[in-house]
Amino acid sequence: MSDALHVHHQGAVATLSLNRPELHNAFDAGLIQALTEALEAVGNDPSVRAVVLAGNGASFSAGADLQWMRAMASASQEENRIDALALARLMRTLDELPKPTIARVQGASFGGGVGLVACCDITIAAEGARFGLTESRLGLLPAVISPYVIAAIGPRQARRWFATGEHFEAATALQIGLVHQVVAADALDAAVQAQLALLAKAGPVAAASAKILVREVCAAVGDRDGLDRANAGLIAALRASDEGKEGLSAFLEKRAPSWADRKAP
Asked which of 161, 181, 198 is the last residue of a domain, the reply is 198
Active-site residue among 78, 79, 96, 135? 135
Q: What is the tens place of the pLDDT at every residue in 214-259?
A: 988 888 776 767 756 776 677 667 767 888 788 778 877 889 888 8
Model confidence pLDDT, tens digit, residues 87-109: 999 999 999 999 999 999 999 99
Region label for 28, one of left (φ > 0), alpha (ψ between -120 and 50) or beta (otherwise) = beta
Q: Kindly calculate the radius of gyration of the chain based on its CA atoms and give it in whole angstroms.
A: 19
Cα 93 to its chain centre, rounded Å, is: 10
Count of domains for the chain: 2
Q: d(Cα 195, Cα 188) in Å, to the nearest integer?
A: 11
> How far is residue 27 CA from its own chain's centroid?
16
Q: Mark whether 107 and 227 lie in a shared domain.
A: no
Q: Say what the pLDDT of residue 224 is.
A: 66
Q: Are 243 and 208 in contact (CB under 8 A)?
A: no
Residue 210 has pLDDT above 50, yes or no: yes
**Which CATH number characterizes residue 228's domain?**
1.10.12
32-43 b/e with 16+ CB inside 10 Å = b?
bbbbbebbeebb
The reply to whether 169 and 237 lie within a common domain is: no
Structure confidence at residue 262 (pLDDT): 53
Report the CATH number that the domain containing residue 132 is assigned in CATH: 3.90.226.10
Same domain, yes or no: 87 and 191: yes
- Do residues 133 and 151 share a domain? yes
109 and 209 co-located in one domain: no
What does the pLDDT average to over 170-186?
Answer: 98
Judge if 158 and 29 occupy the same domain.
yes
Phi, psi of 172 (to 5 degrees): -70, -40
Residue 16 sits in the same domain as residue 71: yes
Q: Are residues 241 and 130 in the same domain?
A: no
Residue span of the structural domain in which 119 resides: 5-198
Note whether 9 and 140 are same-domain residues: yes
pLDDT top residue among 183 and 246? 183
Least confident window among 36-45, 48-57, 69-78, 205-214: 69-78
What per-residue confidence (pLDDT) applies to 264? 47
What is the rounded distance in angstroms from the CA atom of residue 106 to the CA atom of residue 123? Answer: 11
Arithmetic mean of pLDDT, 109-125: 97
Q: Is the pLDDT of residue 118 over 90?
A: yes
Residues 221 and 98 in one domain: no
- Cα dihedral sign, 13-206-102-182: negative
End-to-end CA distance of the chain: 24
Percent of the chain with pLDDT over 90: 68
| Cα–Cα dist 212/221, whole Å | 15
E strand residue ranges, 142-228: 167-169, 181-183
Residue 166 designated active-site? no
Instruction: Tell me the average pLDDT of the chain.
Output: 90
Q: pLDDT > 70: what percent of the chain?
A: 94
User: What pLDDT sits at residue 180?
Assistant: 98
Sheet order of strands, 167-169 included:
108-110, 130-132, 167-169
Select from 156, 172, 198 the last residue of a domain: 198
Q: Place 1 in a pLDDT band, splitting at 50, 70 and 90.
A: low
- pLDDT value, residue 102: 98
Q: Which of 64-73, 80-89, 179-188, 256-265 has the weakest average pLDDT?
A: 256-265
> What's the pTM?
0.88
CA proximity to 99, closest of 26, 215, 220, 206: 206
Say if residue 249 is in the same domain as residue 160.
no
| Band (73; pLDDT cuts 50, 70, 90) | confident
Q: Which of 183, 198, 213 is the last residue of a domain?
A: 198
Handedness of CA 264, 47, 106, 134 (dihedral sign): negative
Question: Are both 117 and 171 inside the same structural domain?
Answer: yes
Strand partners, 8: 15
pLDDT of residue 137: 86
Cα-flanking dihedrals φ and ψ of residue 6, to 5°?
-105, 135
